[in-house]
Amino acid sequence: MARFGEINAQYFDDAGDPLSSGKIYFYETGTTTLKDTFSDINQTIANTNPVILSAAGRQPNIFFSGTAKAILVDKNDVQILVRDPIGQTASVFGDGWVATKIYSADAVVLGSDGQYYRSLAAGNQNNDPTSTSGYWTLLYSVEWNAGITYQTGAVVTYNNLQYQSLQNSNLNNNPASVTAYWASIAFAWLSTRTYAIHENVVGTDGILYTSLQNSNTGNVPASSGSHWVGTSAAAAASATAAASSATAAATSATNAATSATNAGNSATAAASSATSAASSATTATTKASEAATSATTATTKAAEASTSASNAATSATNAGNSATAAASSATAAATSETNAGNSATAAATSATNAASSATAAASSATTATTKASEAATSATNAATSETNAGNSATAAATSATNAATSATAAAGSATSAASSATDAANKYDEFDDRYLGAKSSDPTVDNDGNALVTGAIYFNTSSNVMKVYGGSSWANVAPTATSITLSQVSDVTATAAEVNVLDGIPAGLTATELGYVDGVTSSIQTQLNNISVTAGTQTKTYSAGETSTITLSSNVLSPVVGVTKEVAQTGVSNNAWDVNSSSENYTRYNTATATTLTPSAVGNGTFTLGSGSFSSADVGKTIVGNGGVAVLTATSGAYVTSTNFTNTNAIASGSWQMYAMVFNTTDGDLELSAYSDTYNFSAQTQLYNPTFYQGSGSESDFTRPVGIHWNTAGTYFTTIDSNGDKLYTWAANGAYDGSSFSLDNSHSVSSQTGSPTGFCFLYNGGSYNKLFVVSGSTIFSYSLTVAQRVNGGTSYDNVSKASMSDVTGVLVTNDGTQVYCCADDGDIYHYTMSTANDLSTASNAATGEQFHLPSYSSATWKDMQYQNSGTELWLIDGSNYIYKYSLSTAYRIETASFVARYSFTDPQTTAGFAIENNGSRFYTVGDYGRLYGYSIGAGVSIPTGYHAAHTITSTDSTYWTDINSMTADEAAGNGAIYYCVSTDDRTTWKVAKGTDGERNIAKNNSGTWQYNSNATYGSETWTNATVNAELYAIQEAMGTAANQMNKTQLDAIPDANHFTLANDLDLAIIFNMSSGSTIPSSDGVAINYDANVLNQGAILGTDYTYDAPAQNKVRITSTSAANLKVRIV
C-alpha cells in the first residue's frame, strides 16, 4: 500500500498560481492502462480517475497498491508533468524512516538514532525501528556520533576502524579511548593503530599475537618480542610458570620451618611467665606479713593509731594487688601453654601445605612438559624443588616435636605458679581476718564468717572513723578532744592565741603560701589593677625598609611585640549584589492568586484554577508548586514543564507561586521568564504550507536565486541569482516580513564568475561590510559601502581562492579567521585566513582541507547558515531535508555534532535558505524563482509590564564613607532593565540621575506602600500603590519616566552626587519587554566605595621585623611603606 503525495499537497501552474480544478491521471506503471486509486488506506472507497484537485490546487487522499504512473494536467487537460514510476514502497536503501510508509520485508531504513535497520515483516507501518521490537533488526551503523546513544551490540566506524558497543546507554564515549564501552572488531595488525595491553591481532605471518604493553604502536608483531607474544611462545611461558610454582613450594616449606621456630619461642616465653608468677607469690607473702605486723602495732600504740592504720590499709591494698598479679601470672602461664600447642599445630599445618605445594609443583611441571620441548629443563628444576620442599617438611615436623616438648615444660611451670598463688591466697586470708575493710556498722564476725579476733580493725563509713576490736566491743581509733592539748604536741611552738589568729583560713593552705603575703599593707587586687604590663608603644608612618628604636619603661628580658597596620579602604569593590548562581538572593514578586491550582498531568498539560482565570499578562510566567516548575503558554492554562509535578493533586492556595522573573543557575543571573516556541521543525504541519511571495520589479531579477541572507535588522534581504550572475538586495515589507518586497539595488559578478552558487556577509571591523561569493571551485571576495546590502559601490577585491569542487555555500567565523564551504558531494572545505577577512591570506586549515559532518557524510549540501550566536549550524540538502548540528566551539564547524534532521516540502528545487533571527520563520529560494516562507513556531511569549525583584539581605555600609561608582552587569536583549536603591533598610527606594541628585520613587508610609507619581524629577506626589506591596509599588513607579534609572544613568552618576550612605544598602532590579525574542537578564550591580581605615594585624616577617639590642630597647623595621601601631609587653 502506498500513499501518493503528502497530506493536502498543493500544486501550482507555471505562473505560480494554484492549479485550480487540475487533474491527476493514474496508470499502471509503463502502460496506458488506468489504475484504481482509493481515498482510504483500506482501499474500500474508490477515487475517480482522473483525481480532481480542489479550487486551491490541493489533492485529496490517494492510496494504491504497488507502483503507478501519474500525469498532472490542468482543468483543460493540458499536460504539465509526468512521473513514472511513483509509489512509496520504501525500497530505496537507507532512506530515513517515515511513520506513514509501508515497508516490505528486508527494506532498509535509517533510524532517528543514526543507525540502519532491516525490516523483519511485510506491511511494516508506523513501527519506529528505534523503539518497537519484533519489526526491525539492527543492520549496521555508520560513522560514530557523540550525540547518539548506542545500545549493546551496535557497530560503528571511527577513524576507519570498526567497534562494537559493550553497554546500553552508550553516549559520548569515544570508541578509540573508552574501552569499557567499545571493543574493536579489527583483527589484522595495523601499523598506525595504538594497541593496549592484552589486545589480540593477527600478524602478517598469520600467527595470533597478544600485546604485552600499552601504547603499542608501529611494532611489527613477528619481530618485536618485547611488544608482542605469539602462539609459539605460549608453551615457553607455561614452562616458566611451572618453575615459578616450584619455587613457591620451596618458599612455603621455609615458612613452615619459621612457624616451628616461633612455636619454640612461645614455649620459652611461657616458662619465663611461670617464673615471674612464682616471684609475685613470694612478694605477696612478704606483704601479708607486713600487714599483720602493722595491725599489731596499731593495737599497742594508740597515740599513733591513725598513721599506723593508714599504713596498714595501704599495705593491705598492695598485698591484694600482688595476689591478683600472682593469679594473673598463673593464667598467663596456662595461656602460653595453649599458645605453644597451637603453634605446634600451625607448624604441622604449614608442613602439610608445603607438601601440597610440592604436589602442585609436580603437576605444573607435567603441564610444562606437554606445552613444549623447551620446558624440559624447567620441569627438572621443578622436580628438584619438590625434593627440597619434602626435606623442608621433615624439618618442620622435627620443629613441631620440639615445640611439644617446650609445651610440656611450660605446663610444669604453670603448676608451680598455681602452688605459689595458693600460698599467696592463704596469706591474704590471714590478713583479711584482721583488717576487715570498710563497713557501715560494727561487724560481729570476720570476712570469712568466723569469730572476731582481738585487735581486728575496720573503717566505719557511717561515722568516718577507724575502729579496733578489743575482744568484746569496738572502739574508735582516735584521741578524744580533751585528752590531747596543744602543749602536748611537742613540735608546735605557737600559743593557742597565735593559732586562733588563723581561724577562717581555708584548710590546706601551706606556710609557704601564707608567706607570700608577708609585708602586704593594702589590697592585693588594687595593687594588681594598678600594674601596667605595657613597656612601650609607638604609632608611626614608616617608609619601606625604615628602622625605628623604641625605649622601654623598664628592662624586659624577652619582649612580646604586637603590631597592627592601617589599611586604607579606598576604591574597594563590593559584589554582594551579584546574583547567586546556587541559591536565591533576590526576592521576586509573586503574582499567584489566592486559589487552588490543579495540573492536568505531571508533565506538559493544562492548569485549572479553583476560581478566576489567567490573563494575557501571565503568559510566559513561571509557576512553581508541588515539586514542579512550569511555564504558562496560554491564558487557557496550557503549560510546559521543566521539572515534572509530583502528582496531579490540587495545589492549595498559598502553596504555589507565579513569577515573571527566574533565576538562571547556569548563567548565574536573573532573567525575564518566557516561553519560546522557535526553531520548531519537528512540528511538521507548520512546514507543509509554504507561502509564495512575489516581489515587485522585473521578473528577470528573481529567476534562479541560489542563496539568501537577511540583514541584522530584518529590513532587507539579499539574494544571488545563478542565471543573471547578480547579487540583489530587496526591501522587506517589515521586520523579517517577506510577504511582499521590492528591489533595492543590485551588483553583477559576471566579470568574475558565471553561475554563482552561494554567498555570505562577513563581520569586519564592527560592520558587515564584506561578502564572499562561491562558484564551482572558487571563492571571490567583495567590499561593501553599505553593511549587508549591495549597491553601485560594491567592488571586487581582486582576490579569489580555488582548489575545491561543486561548492554550494560559504560561511566565515565571526572573528574572520576561518572559512568553510559546503559542497554538493557532502564535502566541507576549511581554510584559515592569517589576516582576518583577507582571502589572500587563506591556506588549508590544520584540520585538513576537506572533512565530512557526522552522520550524513554523503549529503548533497545546498546551503548552510549559523544560528544562535554561532552555537548551531543548519544546512539543507537536495532532497528537501534541513539538518541541525550543535557546535561545541561557536562558529567552528569542525566541532559539529549531529542533533536532528527534518523534511519539508518545497514546490521548487531548493537552492538556498534563511531562518528568521527569532527562529519563528523559515525561507527558501530555488529554481522556480520564488521565495517561500514557512512557520516554524509561535515565537517567544513574554509576561508584559514591569517586573521587580530586590535583594534579600542588605549590604552593611556602616563603615563606608563614600560611594565612588556603581556598574550594572546586564544584557538587555530586546527589553529594558531599570534599577533603584534603598539606604534605609528598604523603607524608601530612590534613583539618582547625573547631577540632578536623588529622587524618592517608592516608600512605606506607616504600613502603606506609595509611589511618586509626579512627572517632574525634583518634585514628589505620593500615590497609594494599587496593591499594598513593596515590589508592586516599585513596579507601578516605573510607569512614570522620571522614576526610571537604566544602566547608562546608573553607571554615569558622579562620585559627588552618589547616594548618601547610612548603615545598609539594597538593590531592586526591574525588567520590561513588550516584543522580541531575546529576553533581558541582569547579574546585579558592582559597587566601588571608600571606607574607614582598617587596623589589621601586621605579619612578622611579611610586614615588619624586630630585634632587641638591649633589655630596654626594641628596634622595629618595616618591610614596606605603612602606618604601624606597636605595643611591647
Q: Which three-class secondary structure string do you get for 107-130? A: CEEECCCCEEEEECCCCEECCCCC
Query: Can you say whether residue 206 is alpha, beta or left, with left for phi > 0 and alpha for psi between -120 and 50 degrees?
Result: left
Average pLDDT over residues 504-512: 73
Going by C-alpha positions, the residue among 153, 158, 206, 207 that lies closest to residue 178 is 158
Banded model confidence at residue 48, pLDDT cuts 50, 70, 90: very high
Which of the residue ranges 259-263, 280-284, 343-347, 709-713 has the most confident prediction, judged by mean pLDDT?
709-713
Q: Is the pLDDT of residue 315 over 90?
A: no
Q: Is the pLDDT of residue 250 over 70?
A: no
> How would DSSP label each residue in 499-550?
HHTTTTSPTT--HHHHHTTTT--S-HHHHHHT-----EEEEEEEPTT-EEEE
Q: Which of these CATH numbers, 2.10.10, 1.10.3470, 1.10.1760, 3.30.750, describes 149-233?
A: 2.10.10
Going by C-alpha positions, the residue among 205, 231, 230, 227 that lies closest to residue 217 is 227
Q: Is 809 helix (H, G, I), strand (E, B) or coil?
A: strand
Q: 55-64, 95-104, 134-143, 443-452: which has the minimum mean pLDDT?
A: 134-143
Q: For 684-822+833-925, which CATH class? A: mainly beta
- Tens of pLDDT, residues 270-303: 334 333 333 433 333 333 333 333 333 323 333 3
Bridging pattern class, strands 465-469 and 628-632: unpaired
User: In terms of C-beta distances under 8 Å and separation of at least 24 residues, what long-range contacts does 538-541 make, across chains too?
Assistant: 538/1116, 538/1124, 538/1125, 538/1126, 539/1123, 539/1124, 539/1125, 539/1126, 540/1123, 540/1124, 540/1126, 541/1122, 541/1123
Banded model confidence at residue 369, pLDDT cuts 50, 70, 90: very low
Alpha carbons 882 and 680: distance in angstroms, whole number: 12
Amino acid found at 191 = S
Mean pLDDT across the chain: 79
Q: Are 240 and 378 in contact (CB under 8 A)?
A: yes
Task: Return the axis-axis angle of helices 305-371 and 376-432, rounded to nearest 10°.
Answer: 170
Q: Is the pLDDT of residue 404 over 60?
A: no
Q: Is 481 helix (H, G, I), strand (E, B) or coil?
A: coil
Banded model confidence at residue 123, pLDDT cuts 50, 70, 90: confident
Q: Is the pLDDT of residue 858 over 90?
A: no
Q: What is the number of other CB atoms lying within 10 angstroms of the CB of residue 424?
A: 26
Q: What is the number of other CB atoms lying within 10 angstroms of the CB of residue 460?
A: 17
Global pTM reads: 0.49
Amino acid found at 887 = L
Q: What are phi and psi of 22, to 5 degrees?
A: -65, 175
Q: Is the pLDDT of residue 371 over 90?
A: no
Better pLDDT: 335 or 1083? 1083
Return all residues near 77 (Cβ < 8 A) that are at least 6 apart: 23
Continuous segment of H or E residues that includes residue 352: helix 305-371
Q: What's the pLDDT at 407?
A: 46
Alpha carbons 82 and 72: distance in angstroms, whole number: 6
Average pLDDT over residues 137-161: 76
Alpha carbons 809 and 727: distance in angstroms, whole number: 15
Alpha carbons 883 and 877: distance in angstroms, whole number: 8
Average pLDDT over residues 30-44: 87
Q: What's the pLDDT at 402?
A: 56
Return all residues near 713 (Cβ < 8 A) that are at least 6 apart: 735
Q: Are 39 and 96 in contact (CB under 8 A)?
A: no
- Tens of pLDDT, residues 784-809: 999 999 998 899 988 888 778 889 99
Q: Is the pLDDT of residue 455 over 50?
A: yes
Average pLDDT over residues 860-889: 94
Q: What is the number of other CB atoms lying within 10 angstroms of the CB of residue 540?
A: 14
Residue 984 DSSP one-character state:
S
Cα-based angle 969, 973, 978 (whole degrees, multiple of 5): 55
Continuous segment of H or E residues that includes residue 774: strand 767-775
- Tens of pLDDT, residues 706-733: 999 999 889 999 999 988 899 999 998 8
Structure-block grid coordinates of residue 567: 589599611
Alpha carbons 1041 and 1052: distance in angstroms, whole number: 18
Q: Is the dihedral of CA 618, 624, 628, 629 positive or negative?
A: positive
Task: Return the axis-axis angle of helices 305-371 and 234-300, rounded to nearest 10°.
Answer: 170
Which of the residue ranges 2-11, 212-221, 400-409 has the most confident prediction, judged by mean pLDDT?
212-221
Q: What's the pLDDT at 678?
A: 84
Alpha carbons 841 and 832: distance in angstroms, whole number: 8
* CA-to-CA dists, residue 392 to 243, 364, 402, 853, angstroms: 18, 20, 15, 71
Q: What's the pLDDT at 456?
A: 87
Alpha carbons 27 and 37: distance in angstroms, whole number: 10
Amino acid found at 796 = Y
Residue 580 DSSP one-character state:
P
Cα dihedral value 872, 876, 881, 882, nearest 10: 20
Q: What's the pLDDT at 666?
A: 86
Looking up cell 527566574, which residue turns up? 662
Q: 68-82, 295-309, 465-479: which has the minimum mean pLDDT?
A: 295-309
Q: Are 574 and 1064 in contact (CB under 8 A)?
A: no
Counting residues of the chain whose pLDDT is more than 70, the rounded percentage is 76
Banded model confidence at residue 1108, pLDDT cuts 50, 70, 90: very high
Q: Is the dihedral of CA 611, 615, 617, 622 positive or negative?
A: positive
Return all residues near 724 (Cβ < 8 A) that are at least 6 apart: 700, 701, 703, 748
Return all residues near 571 (Cβ < 8 A) that are at least 6 apart: 964, 1088, 1090
Alpha carbons 657 and 625: distance in angstroms, whole number: 7
Q: What's the pLDDT at 484?
A: 57
Q: Are 534 and 521 in contact (CB under 8 A)?
A: no
Structure-block grid coordinates of residue 1071: 525588567
Average pLDDT over residues 128-142: 79
Q: Are 19 and 700 in contact (CB under 8 A)?
A: no
1124 pairs with which residues across the strands? 540, 565
Banded model confidence at residue 105, pLDDT cuts 50, 70, 90: confident
Average pLDDT over residues 650-663: 96
Q: Is 573 helix (H, G, I), strand (E, B) or coil?
A: strand
- Tens of pLDDT, residues 574-595: 888 999 877 789 999 999 999 9
Better pLDDT: 418 or 304? 418
Q: What's the pLDDT at 860?
A: 94
Q: Is the pLDDT of residue 527 over 90?
A: no
Q: Are 894 and 880 in contact (CB under 8 A)?
A: no
Q: What are phi and psi of 382, to 5 degrees?
A: -65, -40
Return all residues near 1089 (Cβ < 8 A) that are at least 6 apart: 569, 572, 574, 957, 960, 961, 962, 963, 964
Q: Is 262 helix (H, G, I), strand (E, B) or coil?
A: helix
659 pairs with which residues across the strands? 622
Alpha carbons 1070 and 977: distance in angstroms, whole number: 6
Counting residues of the chain whose pLDDT is more than 90, the rounded percentage is 42
Amino acid found at 666 = T
Burial of 823 by CB count in 10 Å (0-12 exposed, 13-18 middle, 19+ buried)?
buried
Better pLDDT: 26 or 418? 26
Continuous segment of H or E residues that includes residue 63: strand 63-64
Average pLDDT over residues 621-634: 96
Q: What's the pLDDT at 982?
A: 98
Secondary-structure breakdown of the chain: helix, strand, coil percentages, each rounded to the nearest 5: 20, 35, 40
Structure-block grid coordinates of residue 1058: 552618589
